[in-house]
Amino acid sequence: MTTADIKDVIIDILEGIAPDEDLSNLDDQTPFREQLELDSMDFLDIVMELRKRYRIQIPEDDYVELASMDSTVKYLEPMMRDLEKV
């Protein structure tokens, strides 16, 4: 998967978790919590959705890596590099 593919996956997951949020103007460097009304359960939903779709295991200690789009993509890139686009 390319960086753009991974961003699309994250946007798709966020759309499912926060359907009322406007994701069109997300700043890739600003933490999601500063841009969206997400709580800790929403972040858990992101992790669970990644596991369900791509069988990616994210240790709880690494959840902090999912703070912004840039950090999420950087964290997921090595894991998703060889995955086929869904």
User: HSE (CB half, 13 Å, CA atoms) of 86?
Assistant: 12
pLDDT at position 86, please? 45
Residue from 32, 26, 63, 31 nearest 47 by CA: 63
pLDDT at position 3, please? 92
CA 51 to chain centre: 11
pLDDT at position 84, please? 60
pLDDT band at 27 (very low <50, low <70, confident <90, very high): very high
pLDDT at position 49, please? 95
- pLDDT (tens digit, 9 = 90+) per residue, 38-64? 888 998 999 999 999 999 999 999 999
Residue 82 CA to residue 60 CA, distance in Å, equals 23
Q: Which domains does the chain have, with CATH numbers?
A: 3-80 (1.10.1200.10)
Residue 11 CA to residue 49 CA, distance in Å, equals 12
Q: How far apart are the first and last CA of the chain?
A: 10
pLDDT at position 78, please? 92
